Structure 1
Amino acid sequence: MTALPRSTGPGRRRTGPAAAALLAALIPAAPASAAPTPAAADAPHPWSLRLLDTLSVPAGTDALGTPFGGLSGIDFDPRTGRYAALSDDRAERAPARFYTLDLPLDGYRFAHRQPDVTAVTTLTDQAGRPYPRRSVDPESIRWTTGGTRVVWTSEGAGAQGQPATVTETDAASGRALRELPLPPAYRPVLDAAGRQVAGVRDNEALEGLTTTAGGSRTVTLTESALVQDGPAPTPETGSPARLLVQDHTTGRPLAAHVYEVGRVTDTPTAPVPGTPDTYAAARGASEVLALDATDFLVVERTYASGLGYPIRIYWTTTRGATDVRDRGALTGHEHPMPKRLVFDSRTTGVNTDNVEGLTWGPRLPDGTRALILVADDNFGLFGSATKFHLLGRWPG
């Protein structure tokens, strides 16, 4: 999500053994029985994550001749110790691109107060041409195939009929190699009056991307419901986003499940800057990260004018959830993925800002894996900054 979430107008407020061991070490599995109620989903999990450190990069910073901002996806390569960070610049300020950078740790803190940007790679189509202006909206990125390739998502533009995409790209040259086909239900459909009636919701499409089974499966998560599946979150109800599991080689759907994004619970405390009579709030899933083949962490990011961008991170699982891969539209009777709260930024006293990326990092001194969040500065909109947050397990 790169722009201000939709306004509600004046007077209304919308607020394998190794994998199993890793999961058990980080967050014990919740019971895979009935899906939790919304209240239960927000109840603290027996294990949680804690914020260890934050570093901030001011908006307007340049890196290797490009504006360093809009970072909406990040992924760590344990072979090199480096990160790929994807900008959601729609080829407007500079060509569509991702950065390679270092974020070394010193104990439980970042070793440096700025990232070390070592390379910028322009993303191009299969003919080697940079993407035209506003033809892509990059959102999430993961290393794949031994660090020689990356896979990344574009949200497209549903209101204009522009589809979302999942693209595998050569990491060295930035040249696209292929696209993974998405199910027909994801394709935007406009009626005769130009209104969108189906497909990925405009500006709320493929925000989340991760891989499982040693990279043989690609998993995407929509920010909120497909248009035909239901509304975006409101103060009264959540929104049934879709988590899609695909064979990475063929693109064939292997499973799909409903992830219920929570209702809007954060109330605006001030008008949207520059619009004194307008209050606005929204909520969506901005990233997903695999724990193993069935269990994931999901970032749910809120916007509330005057309050900023509080985030919550949930543990969730596909175990026991309905497989909806063949459904063009949901019926409303699907069993969603159970979820439990493991991190709430509102308890930290830190403005985490517009968090859109989540990745594993290196091991911490206690032997557990660090988690790294990145916040999109929206190129300075409303005073935001690029932020990197270091998280660890609690208790350690």
Structure 2
Amino acid sequence: MKLSLIRRACGAALVMATTMAPAMAAQSHGTAAPSDTGVRARLLGEKIVPHKLPFRNTTVGGLSGIDRDPCTGEYVMISDDRSVLQPARFYTARIAVDGAGVHSVDFTGTHPFLQPDGQVYPPASAGDGKAVDPEELRVDPRTCRYWWAQEGDRPKSASDPVIQPSIQFATPSGGYLGQLPLPAQYVNTMDDRGLRRNKAIEAITFGDRDRVLTSVAEGPLLQDGPEPTLELGALVRLTRQSRTGEVLGQFAYPLDKILTKPDPSSPWPPDAGVPSIVAFRDDPSRYLVLERSWVAGSGFRIRLYDTTTRGATVMENLDSLAGQKVIPMRKELVADFTDLGLSTVDNIEGMTWGPTLRNGERTLLLVSDDNFADDEVTQIVALGIR
């Protein structure tokens, strides 16, 4: 999601940094830990990519998703440029990370996403209904092809085209291969039901021995209740699907309430949502979920949670959560990025598992979306997870 649109009227060498609202639903995050041991995180290091770094006739920025390619060992990062600066695209990079930190980030390639007819996507301003809003990318652990999610668009005006969200398949060079059928609740409509504008699919992950694709709506569906407030959190839908699109289960994830009062002089309201999720290898019900919020006068707040679907209501047949007795997923705080010692806490939107360290810790790499804005950064963060 482009938070610069909320805060504004409009939207290789590297520098190293040392470094529920619905009635009857739970109103705050779960109090029980998803596991007996809990998960701990520590900062390994970070690196800042030069702002608007030119690379192969493109502008590096808007990096809203990252994944590790098991076939090459490189990382793939998706840009949420809606073909405004250059065609919607992704980047590949070598990232050297170990227990001592992030040592280098070297971009190695870039490709545009292609439509079924082989053409690049037009700018979002084209108004022909073919534009996309890329947000997340996962490398298929079985084939090393790319699965990528885009939010589409619920237009503000009835005269503008509806652009449906999608999870598409692509070759490592961006060629179109097809798309995953989405749950009925994810379809954009012009009424008061379905995904909110700019709060659609930003988070996908493979899990359950790579047999299941899990997606999370960034914000609550219109019919499920309001967005988070200072008093109450909200419920967003997490959906597990087979590789052919069969819905295997849908659950309510409890999004935090807004933690800080906004600057009263700002015209922009607070914003919160789920931009990324990764599955645990050894437990098909368990995920790390990233929550991101922005409040005028306070900036970004990033939190990482250990979560489980165990004991939560299975609810794919519920069209609306309003008035329903729903048991949400349990979650436990792993890290508040304000406390990690980062040089800055920015608009972190993507994360992926990295290599396992010699001490048994798994690395978790995260990337921030700078929105191509001068007051934000493209930040690569590495955590050790135990």
Q: Same fold (TM over 0.5)?
A: yes
2:296 aligned to which of 296, 305, 310: 305
Residue 330 of structure 1 corresponds to which residue in structure 2? 321
> Conserved in 2, the CA contact under 8 Å of 1:185 and 1:329?
no
Instruction: State the distance in 1 between where 2:152 and 2:91 align.
Output: 21
> Conserved in 1, the CA contact under 8 Å of 2:252 and 2:327?
yes
Instruction: State the distance in 1 between where 2:351 and 2:142 align.
Output: 20
Residue 183 of structure 2 corresponds to which residue in structure 1? 183
In the alignment, structure 1 residue 257 sits paired with structure 2 residue 273: no
> Conserved in 2, the CA contact under 8 Å of 1:36 and 1:338?
no
Calculate the TM-score normalised by the size of structure 1: 0.83
Instruction: State the distance in 2 between where 1:39 and 1:329 align.
Output: 21
> Conserved in 2, the CA contact under 8 Å of 1:234 and 1:282?
no
Q: 1:50 to 1:107 in 2, by over 3 A?
A: closer
Letter in 2 for 1:164: P
Instruction: State the distance in 2 between where 1:339 and 1:2 align.
Output: 26
Residue 30 of structure 1 corresponds to which residue in structure 2? none
> What secondary structure sits across from 1:378 in the alignment?
coil
Structure 2 unmatched ranges of 5 or more? 8-24, 125-130, 157-161
> What secondary structure sits across from 1:309 in the alignment?
strand
> Conserved in 2, the CA contact under 8 Å of 1:84 and 1:98?
yes
> Conserved in 2, the CA contact under 8 Å of 1:352 and 1:375?
no
Residue-by-residue CA offset, 1:3-46 (whole Å, 9 max, x unaligned)? 34757xxxxxxxxxxxxxxxxxxxxxxxxxx979548379xx84
> What secondary structure sits across from 1:263 in the alignment?
coil
Letter in 2 for 1:352: V
2:339 aligned to which of 347, 372, 386: 347
In the alignment, structure 1 residue 363 sits paired with structure 2 residue 352: no
Residue-by-residue CA offset, 1:147-196 (whole Å, 9 max, x unaligned)? 5311010011123532211101111x3111111111222112214xxxxx
Residue 117 of structure 2 corresponds to which residue in structure 1? 127
Residue 231 of structure 2 corresponds to which residue in structure 1? 236
In the alignment, structure 1 residue 208 sits paired with structure 2 residue 203: yes
> Conserved in 2, the CA contact under 8 Å of 1:77 and 1:147?
no
Residue 12 of structure 1 corresponds to which residue in structure 2? none
> Conserved in 2, the CA contact under 8 Å of 1:169 and 1:177?
yes
Residue 316 of structure 1 corresponds to which residue in structure 2? 307
Per the TM alignment, residue 369 of structure 1 is displaced from its structure 2 partner at its CA by 1.4
Per the TM alignment, residue 59 of structure 1 is displaced from its structure 2 partner at its CA by 2.1
Per the TM alignment, residue 106 of structure 1 is displaced from its structure 2 partner at its CA by 4.4
Per the TM alignment, residue 321 of structure 1 is displaced from its structure 2 partner at its CA by 0.9
Residue 284 of structure 1 corresponds to which residue in structure 2? 273
> What secondary structure sits across from 2:201 in the alignment?
coil
Residue 167 of structure 1 corresponds to which residue in structure 2? 168
- Percent identity at matched positions? 37
Letter in 2 for 1:366: N
Residue 159 of structure 2 corresponds to which residue in structure 1? none
> Conserved in 2, the CA contact under 8 Å of 1:184 and 1:328?
no
Letter in 2 for 1:256: Q
Per the TM alignment, residue 277 of structure 1 is displaced from its structure 2 partner at its CA by 4.5
> What secondary structure sits across from 1:228 in the alignment?
helix
> What secondary structure sits across from 2:299 in the alignment?
coil
Instruction: State the distance in 2 between where 1:339 and 1:74 align.
Output: 23
Calculate the TM-score normalised by the size of structure 2: 0.86
Structure 1 unmatched ranges of 5 or more? 8-33, 192-196
1:62 aligned to which of 54, 61, 64: 54
Which stretch shifts more, 201-210 or 70-79? 70-79
Letter in 2 for 1:377: D
Per the TM alignment, residue 352 of structure 1 is displaced from its structure 2 partner at its CA by 2.4
1:143 aligned to which of 139, 162, 168: 139
CA-atom RMSD in angstroms? 2.4
Letter in 1 for 2:337: S
Residue 127 of structure 2 corresponds to which residue in structure 1? none
Residue-by-residue CA offset, 1:369-390 (whole Å, 9 max, x unaligned)? 1000100011025x10100001
Per the TM alignment, residue 52 of structure 1 is displaced from its structure 2 partner at its CA by 1.7
Instruction: State the distance in 2 between where 1:41 and 1:278 align.
Output: 38
Letter in 2 for 1:140: E
Instruction: State the distance in 2 between where 1:156 and 1:279 align.
Output: 22
Residue 365 of structure 2 corresponds to which residue in structure 1? 372
Instruction: State the distance in 2 between where 1:316 and 1:36 align.
Output: 16
> Conserved in 1, the CA contact under 8 Å of 2:26 and 2:326?
no
Q: 1:148 to 1:47 in 2, by over 3 A?
A: closer
Instruction: State the distance in 2 between where 1:132 and 1:387 align.
Output: 28
Per the TM alignment, residue 146 of structure 1 is displaced from its structure 2 partner at its CA by 3.5
Letter in 2 for 1:345: F
Q: 1:50 to 1:87 in 2, by over 3 A?
A: same
Q: 1:306 to 1:148 in 2, by over 3 A?
A: same
> Conserved in 2, the CA contact under 8 Å of 1:158 and 1:199?
no
